[in-house]
Amino acid sequence: MSYIQLQIDNQCIAARRGQTILEAALENGIHIPYLCHDPRLKPSGGCGLCLVEVDNVVQKACMTRVLDGMQVKTKSDIIVERRKKKLNEIFADHWADCLAPCTLVCPAGTDAQAYIGLIVQRRYRDAVRLIKQTNPLPSVIGRICTRPCEDSCRRNLIDEKVSICFLKRFVGDRDLFNTNRYIPKTKLPTGKKVAIIGSGPAGLSAAYYLAI
Ligand code: SF4
Ligand code: FES
């Protein structure tokens, strides 16, 4: 692997050829603000916060490869102004910062972001437990839902949506055929009875949530 030398904020650093300025800076303990950079993903240049000046031209540090002898500034009035502008643009249309858009548009309000996170960690039973807090029929809904969550998935802005519905179906089916399937605790009987008319998804859901 070959190394090159560049200067960031007048500090001489060595970087691997092919690295981006952001990667080289972070590896050398130099802070450049960023939001969309993730070492596991191809750089998208989406947030526009990692601005630096390279030989007096403003560039995105996550999209610019290091070159021998490069002079990089991470702080200057123009950079700070442009970062502020970018941040304001991000705030202007980010209504879903606190709740993921997939959850906001789900008619059942299922926390898709959280159960996908649990599936990633292979915590399948916890994922089913979470889904069933708002949707008692993940295997069925994982097949027939019109998937508004996937239309609103922010990954659409980068490449393609996350297969939220199939993930739900996957954990639902896994649980269904598991001898130790997740069965929530039911409440103690109150002595009262409720008659539910119909045994479709709505009736079954009503019975389920009345019992737990
Ligand atoms: S990436 Fe898509 S699935 Fe994941 S939390 Fe965001 S909107 Fe939901
Ligand atoms: S980290 Fe978002 S554009 Fe560079």
All residues at 6 or more sequence positions from 59 whose CB lies less than 8 Å from its CB, including other chains:
21, 51, 52, 53
Q: What is the pLDDT of residues 1-10, one digit of tens each?
A: 789 999 999 9
Please indicate whether residue 164, judged by its CB atom, sits closer than 6 Å to ligand 1: yes
Q: Domains for the chain: give ranges and CATH numbers.
A: 3-92 (3.10.20.740), 101-185 (1.10.1060.10)
Strand pairing report for 71-73 and 3-8: parallel
- % of the chain exceeding 90 in pLDDT: 82
Q: Does residue 23 contact residue 61 with C-beta atoms inside 8 Å? A: no
Distances (CA, A) of 202 to 60, 109, 185: 51, 15, 20
Please indicate whether residue 41, judged by its CB atom, sits closer than 6 Å to ligand 2: no
Q: Give the integer Cα–Cα distance in Å for 2 and 4.
A: 7
Mean pLDDT, to the nearest integer, of 111-124? Answer: 95
The residue to mutate among 154, 158, 161, having the most atoms of ligand 1 within 8 angstroms of its beta carbon, is: 154
What's the mean pLDDT when you consider all of the chain? 93
Q: Give the integer Cα–Cα distance in Å for 171 and 116.
A: 10
Q: What is the pLDDT of residue 79?
A: 96
Q: Confidence class of residue 98 from pLDDT cuts 50, 70 and 90?
A: low
Quick check: 96 pLDDT over 60? no
Among 49-53, 138-142, 173-177, 186-190, which stretch is predicted with the lowest mean pLDDT? 186-190
Mean pLDDT, to the nearest integer, of 98-126? Answer: 92
